[in-house]
Chains A and B, each alone.
Chain A
């Protein structure tokens, strides 16, 4: 079974976001397992704006290169630079040390449009 924390919100394309004032964004346990060993992560820079449902970066594994889609719109205020040297953190700890972005949400109402943990779990089963 894949880990799907109850307090996060999810996209069908397997990104997660917290619902904090500064929201953390990453990819799910299911996604990292499907991808296999992650070898490279490309992320926006601090100060960049991201737009809900649009690409914000790229994750590359030995199997595939995949676009990352923004679960919410907002301004990037933090980037997990540890991933540039240790992309394996995405595999080892996708919800904590493997986080990708910290985003100041433009519209907190967008959280409600995302999948709940239960809805996401149904999708992955």
Chain B
């Protein structure tokens, strides 16, 4: 495939932002507004564009961007899945868009859907109770750790440590620290899994929880999971499951059955809703019975009369972690996805996620030090700089994998094609890896050359961030 990304440049500048285009001062009247004068204005400055010009502006921006709608996007652990358009259609149904303060009685359909999603997720994770409130995966982690903390405090236990493997997602460390815990980092064993002896030495009266993802961040299944769970539970700690890698297990194994007490679900990863970076996200949390009363509020339950649904606050709830019932439209998309796939479809998704990763891994010439892996693998670019290889892969018309992480693999390229890619796409991806592997240092260092923008100046971006359109004129 020959690939060249679109590039619109005007006066040496990429497609100008709306705020940089010609504007017109528009009179908005407002004399009869009941608001105080200092809260109103007489005119507003708006971009001076016709509808087609506006449509072209956004189309151009999207063409200069990379998305999973334009090609493969195999970011390991970040899991970029195609968002099926039917879920967008369901979420766009105006019948579902009701004011969140309306009475339970008048939004029974919405509550039924939320209840159904709670039940679906509980079943999938092997959990007893689910909250849909957290607005993202990391927010779910934080809420889950707050639940663990509330549980220990209610039992009069003063536990101040959370144990996390060195290979875990960075959010795990942040969630535990934000909840006020000291983080104990667990080294990986030689085979890339949890070092069970180190865990046995680390657990004790101070252990509040162990946070784990399974399969772990290089795609390896934690074979000692039952022993790990027993070790943590015997010390009085809880086991937290980071749902980031649930894709490998979907419909086949359940965190609850492995001994996990708390988990979050990344609905954008596992159930194909958009990633939170582009708008609202959702990170529901599931727990075992013993912890249900601490979950964030509100949750949805069936009325005791047996007909209809109602919102309720769990008795010892840690409180709200987001407004109202969570990010409704994202939850609708997750529900629609699960309902459309059904048991058979979810089983097929995990099978293909693992099959695709293993087929792609078999076709890639870079060394893959740890295995057998499941839905993702961490290849190493060896003597080559993984960032250079990644930039070069862009030139071959695919998005590169996650680079330089996890650190247990030197120059890591953590790759997760997901179940959505066909054999043809996987072959294209493999070709991009292998072409980059064959390119010389100079070509790699110079890449990318076919993208809209070439190497981004990360240093200036970090040292002189301009975080608002108002700062655009502040050129150094």
| B404 nearest in chain A by CB position | A63
| A60 nearest in chain B by CB position | B462
| B463 nearest in chain A by CB position | A39
| B387 nearest in chain A by CB position | A63
Interface status of A40 (Cβ within 8 A of chain B): yes
Interface status of A102 (Cβ within 8 A of chain B): no
Which residues of the partner chain B approach A29 to less than 8 Å between Cβ atoms? none
Which residues of the partner chain A approach B463 to less than 8 Å between Cβ atoms? 39, 87-88
Min distance, Cβ B110 to any Cβ of chain A, angstroms = 42
Min distance, Cβ A124 to any Cβ of chain B, angstroms = 20
Q: How far is the CA of A97 from the CA of B463 in the complex (A)?
A: 18
Interface status of A1 (Cβ within 8 A of chain B): no
Interface status of A81 (Cβ within 8 A of chain B): no
- Tier of interface size on chain B: under 10
Q: How far is the CA of A37 from the CA of B458 in the complex (A)?
A: 9
Min distance, Cβ A119 to any Cβ of chain B, angstroms = 27
Min distance, Cβ B350 to any Cβ of chain A, angstroms = 34
| A37 nearest in chain B by CB position | B459
Q: How far is the CA of A60 from the CA of B458 in the complex (A)?
A: 13
Which residues of the partner chain B approach A62 to less than 8 Å between Cβ atoms? 458-459, 462
Task: Name the interface residues of B388-418: CB closer than 8 Å to any CB of A.
Answer: none
Q: Name, among A39, A60, A87, A88, the residue most crowded by chain B CB atoms within 10 Å (CB to CB).
A: A39
Task: Name the interface residues of A73-91: CB closer than 8 Å to any CB of B.
Answer: 87-88
Q: How far is the CA of A37 from the CA of B463 in the complex (A)?
A: 10
Cβ contacts A88-119/B at 8 Å (1 or 0 each): 10000000000000000000000000000000
Which residues of the partner chain A approach B462 to less than 8 Å between Cβ atoms? 37, 39-40, 60, 62
Cβ contacts B6-38/A at 8 Å (1 or 0 each): 000000000000000000000000000000000
Q: How far is the CA of A40 from the CA of B458 in the complex (A)?
A: 13
Cβ contacts A13-46/B at 8 Å (1 or 0 each): 0000000000000000000000001011000000
Task: Name the interface residues of B435-471: CB closer than 8 Å to any CB of A.
Answer: 458-459, 462-463
Q: How far is the CA of A62 from the CA of B462 in the complex (A)?
A: 8
Q: How far is the CA of A40 from the CA of B459 in the complex (A)?
A: 10
Min distance, Cβ A81 to any Cβ of chain B, angstroms = 16
Min distance, Cβ B183 to any Cβ of chain A, angstroms = 13
Min distance, Cβ B284 to any Cβ of chain A, angstroms = 30
Which residues of the partner chain B approach A37 to less than 8 Å between Cβ atoms? 458-459, 462
Min distance, Cβ B406 to any Cβ of chain A, angstroms = 14
Min distance, Cβ A59 to any Cβ of chain B, angstroms = 13
A residues lining the B interface (CB < 8 Å):
37, 39-40, 60, 62, 87-88
Some 13 contacts from A to B, beta carbons below 8 A apart, are A37-B458, A37-B459, A37-B462, A39-B459, A39-B462, A39-B463, A40-B462, A60-B462, A62-B458, A62-B459, A62-B462, A87-B463, A88-B463
Q: A37-B458, A62-B459, A87-B463 are in contact. List 10 more A-B contacts (CB 8 A).
A: A37-B459, A37-B462, A39-B459, A39-B462, A39-B463, A40-B462, A60-B462, A62-B458, A62-B462, A88-B463
Question: Across chains A and B, which 9 residue pairs bring their CB atoms closest together, nearest first?
Answer: A39-B462, A37-B459, A62-B458, A39-B463, A62-B459, A62-B462, A39-B459, A87-B463, A88-B463
